[in-house]
Structure 1
Amino acid sequence: MSALNKAKGFKKSKTGTYLSIGTTAFGAVSVLKQARMARSEHDTLRLVDAVVSAAAIVTGVALLVRELKRLGDDDVLLG
């Protein structure tokens, strides 16, 4: 199996999905900092950008959680 195929398989694994959730959550820290700075400077445009970015993060995590549930369902033998 080539390294590229292994990498593609890792992305679809439970470990890869947990890693994706972690990196997405790490991005949330940056968005929180951006929102705090925008609020302190009364910069509406940056605040809107932070809110939109936060919505994208929430959506991304929801998709990853759904993928985890799907991976978990594959492990169970349905009788």
Structure 2
Amino acid sequence: MAKKAKNFQKSKTGAYIAIGTTAFGAISVAKQAKLARNDNDLLRLVDAAVSAAAIVTGLAILYRELKRLGDDDVLLG
């Protein structure tokens, strides 16, 4: 069972689901940043900025993984 889950994470479908989940997290971070700006809460605003940077990095890694999976498909075909 664990092997199936690991293979799913390395699949295109798994990568697309991870991108969707990450994008959903971006909505939460945007709301957090908006509230922080409205409240003039610098610490929460910094937290939102750091979270946004983590999301961007995560999306870049997932994009790279999708690109790598696409390259593998071309080599196999």
TM-score (norm 1): 0.93
- For residues 52-73 of structure 1, give each alpha carbon's deviation from its aligned partner in whole angstroms, at most 9, with x where no partner exists: 0000000000000000000000
Residue 59 of structure 2 is matched in structure 1 by 61
1:47 corresponds to 2:45: yes
Aligned-residue sequence identity (percent) comes to 74
Q: Looking at CA atoms only, which structure, 1 or 2, has the larger radius of gyration?
A: 1
Gaps of 5+ in 1: none
Q: CA deviation at 1:4?
A: 1.0
1:21 corresponds to 2:19: yes
- For residues 19-63 of structure 1, give each alpha carbon's deviation from its aligned partner in whole angstroms, at most 9, with x where no partner exists: 000000000011001000000000001000000000000000000
TM-score (norm 2): 0.95
Q: If each structure's helix is expressed as a fraction of its own residues, which one has the higher value?
A: 2
Number of residue-to-residue matches in the alignment: 76
Gaps of 5+ in 2: none
Q: CA deviation at 1:7?
A: 0.5
Question: What is the CA–CA distance in structure 2 between the aligned matches of 1:65 and 1:6, rounded to whole Å?
Answer: 22
